[in-house]
Amino acid sequence: MKKASVLLTVSILTLVFTAIMCRNNHEPQAHPGCNFYYWKTRPEFTKEDKALADSLGMKRLYMRYFDVDWSPTLEMPVPIGPADFGEDFRNYDTNEPLRLVDYQVVPTIFILNRVFEKDFNPDSLAAKISKKILEKNQMLSFGLRTWSRDYANAETSVDWEQPDSLQPEYQFRQRITEIQLDCDWTNSTRDRYFQFLKAMKKANPGMTISCTVRLHQFRDGEKAGIPPVDRGTLMCYNVAPPKDQNVKDAIFDQDLVLGYLKNGDYPLPLEAALPLFSWGALFHENQFKGLASGLSESDVKGNPLFSPVSEGKYRFMQDTVFAEVYMREGDMVRLDEPSPAEIGKIVERLAQIKAVKNISFFDWNPSKIREYHVDEICKKFEAAR
């Protein structure tokens, strides 16, 4: 009797398991997802942006809040270039509300390395940065609440100051659970920077603290040190100084990136960030003159102002003012721009690194997202894991 009962139970479990597997095989698989950096001073995230983000499975948006530099006059670190999260927080062109409520926004702070060359109290800087982030969060939440169409006709008796879980403001604040610090630390600044990271964790209990990790810091982890944070973002771009005329591509050189990644793993969970931007490095008589942001091959190929010299390099054919820089006939421009094929190759390698859990892109640009077929890159990463 017991044997029959066991056989019946096994048969039922087998049928249930088979049914589940058949159902899963026929259900559409969720998009693997990827995240983005958002580096605009004045955010303008439209309903079209939201539709694109949703189609890519985006969950996390790293938003630049402000930078931190050293003030020689005040002899202290100071915030510079803060993002505009004013009360009139809507898209300029359409007057529509921003569509950020559904995503986890990560306040991202860029700190120049020279800040940590100075003598100051890391706890004090952590407290000041944390306070300013909180102020920016409140401004951002207020803007989302004010311009949310879902609540445009809310009853006047609603007390917006109470933390009602249905309010867009409250929902949005609940999604700010992480702070990211971005600094290219060196051997001489490592100890002070790491002290600051510990101070940030202490000043923000319950909050995830992450930081960026450059490729050389990944490769030379023992020498560079492992930052005392919860997780990191591996920046797979800006691989060489743009002022160096001899580099192949200052933003993204596939061979260079693969070289940095060949040694294997990292003791922190990582998200790998890939570039979706370009520029032209301008040179006059072998001297660097500046960058033409956003310049790409489509802008110079077939343009009578330029004549091709070699792969990625063009010569100016006449005197002109270009990107607010006066260029002479014969001056050179080098295009620094990753190709979709190069990024795809790097993604395959990143998928083999155990520490890399996900990928992200710098930065949010719908035209570049479509041009580079980011959805296919995300799928390639997931398939190669």
Within this chain, do residues 193 and 271 fall inside the same structural domain, yes or no? yes
Neighbour tally for 256: CB within 10 Å: 15
Q: Which domain holds residue 294?
A: 280-336
What separation in angstroms does the CA of 291 have from each of 28, 57, 242, 335?
45, 33, 8, 10
On whether residue 20 sits in a domain, the answer given is no
CATH at residue 274? 3.20.20
Within this chain, do residues 332 and 345 fall inside the same structural domain, yes or no? no
**The pLDDT of residue 47:** 86
Within this chain, do residues 268 and 314 fall inside the same structural domain, yes or no? no
On whether residue 2 sits in a domain, the answer given is no
Within this chain, do residues 331 and 343 fall inside the same structural domain, yes or no? no
On whether residue 345 sits in a domain, the answer given is yes
**């091709």: which residue's tokens?**
308
Terminal CA-to-CA distance of the chain, rounded, Å?
48
Structural contact between residues 58 and 35, judged by C-beta atoms closer than 8 angstroms: yes
Where do the H-state alpha helices sit in the chain?
A: 2-26, 47-55, 122-146, 168-174, 190-203, 215-219, 221-224, 254-261, 297-300, 340-350, 366-371, 374-384
% helix / strand / coil in the chain, to the nearest 5?
35, 25, 40
Within this chain, do residues 348 and 371 fall inside the same structural domain, yes or no? yes
On whether residue 25 sits in a domain, the answer given is no
On whether residue 6 sits in a domain, the answer given is no
For residue 28, the 8-state DSSP code is P
Close Cβ partners of 177 (under 8 Å, ≥ 6 residues apart): 104, 207, 208
Within this chain, do residues 212 and 312 fall inside the same structural domain, yes or no? no
Structural contact between residues 349 and 22, judged by C-beta atoms closer than 8 angstroms: no
Among candidates 361, 357, 183, which has minimal Cα distance to 270?
357
Q: Which helix (H) or strand (E) holds 244?
A: none
Within this chain, do residues 113 and 201 fall inside the same structural domain, yes or no? yes
Among candidates 172, 163, 45, 51, which has minimal Cα distance to 104?
172
CA neighbours closer than 13 Å in the CB half-sphere of residue 234 = 30
This model's pTM is above 0.75: yes
On whether residue 161 sits in a domain, the answer given is yes
Structural contact between residues 333 and 313, judged by C-beta atoms closer than 8 angstroms: yes
Within this chain, do residues 300 and 343 fall inside the same structural domain, yes or no? no
On whether residue 13 sits in a domain, the answer given is no
Within this chain, do residues 157 and 286 fall inside the same structural domain, yes or no? no
Distance of alpha carbon 190 from alpha carbon 141, whole angstroms: 34
Distance of alpha carbon 361 from alpha carbon 107, whole angstroms: 16
Close Cβ partners of 375 (under 8 Å, ≥ 6 residues apart): 31, 55, 56
**The pLDDT of residue 41:** 87
Distance of alpha carbon 118 from alpha carbon 102, whole angstroms: 40
The residues facing 232 across adjacent strands are 211, 270
CA 344 from chain center: how many Å?
Answer: 18
Within this chain, do residues 184 and 301 fall inside the same structural domain, yes or no? no
**The pLDDT of residue 143:** 57
On whether residue 207 sits in a domain, the answer given is yes
Among candidates 206, 209, 137, 203, which has minimal Cα distance to 179?
209
Where do the H-state alpha helices sit in 286-358?
A: 297-300, 340-350
Give the 3-state secondary structure of residue 47: helix
| pLDDT average per 10 residues of sequence, the chain (385 residues) | 46 45 41 84 87 94 96 95 71 66 92 97 96 89 52 41 50 81 98 98 97 97 96 97 95 96 92 97 96 95 95 96 95 96 96 96 96 95 93
**The pLDDT of residue 98:** 72
Query: Domain count of the chain?
Result: 2
Within this chain, do residues 85 and 205 fall inside the same structural domain, yes or no? yes
Among candidates 51, 64, 92, which has minimal Cα distance to 366?
51
Within this chain, do residues 196 and 293 fall inside the same structural domain, yes or no? no
**Cis preceding linkage at 319, omega within 30:** no
For residue 236, the 8-state DSSP code is -
E strands in the chain: 35-38, 60-71, 76-80, 104-111, 178-182, 208-214, 231-235, 270-275, 279-284, 287-293, 306-310, 313-316, 320-322, 325-327, 332-336, 356-362
